Structure 1
Amino acid sequence: MSEARVNSTAYPIQRKEAASPLLHESIKDEIKWRRQFLSVLELPSIMDAVADEQAFSDLLHYAIENRLIRQSALAEKIKYANSQIGRWAAGKASPPLVVRRVVIEEIRGLLSESLTKRQKLVS
């Protein structure tokens, strides 16, 4: 019985140690994707691109679908309903151009925050 107890307690520790490098690689991949997306959002031409309703919808959908940002966090930042953000991402509705520009700025901010947090996890 004591052998079973030793084995059952050792297994989670071994599993945790084995998962640690995988977790770091996953976070590093996430950081890479977030940086790439953020670099696109920092292009001067991005504001012209989001003037097109479909381009804005695609960009927002991509950011939410790939979990680069949380839809609820964006909704909270710009003071819109979460469901409204979902409608914009799905292309069912489109906000005015002024709001689209604010959304892009907030996405940049959220991405920067999440990058900082994830980089601390890897360091």
Structure 2
Amino acid sequence: MSTDSQAIAALLHHSADTLQYVRAGAPTDAHAPDPAGPVALADAVWIASYVGIHLGYYTNPDAARDHCNDEARTVQGLPDTLTWRPDEDEPESRQHQFVDLGDVPPVDTGFRITAIVPVPSYTAGEEA
């Protein structure tokens, strides 16, 4: 493994640890669509996020992916070998970004896009 690949893999391992910590301590997925019910993705707002921190809100998944890709390249210094994979539990409404470093299996970067469907009003006792 090259020195650059080792450094990037170490950074991503740290990011994955941070993601696990954020998930354990904060309700970052509180507004994610219910996987048991259908999601009207035509009405969705797509959230671009990094380890649970919201980066932006978009009306289409391409814009959310573009934001994450730009952050991964310019802020994290990741190479252009970025790919997206559907979430295993919510394939239609959540995607994970991976980076291919060539000499190791693709590594999860911690960047996500998630679709949420806003509701027009609040009703006490009902989940949004």
TM over 0.5: no
TM-score by length of 1: 0.33
Q: Which has the higher contact order (CA 8 A, sep 6+)?
A: 1
**Higher-helix-fraction structure:** 1
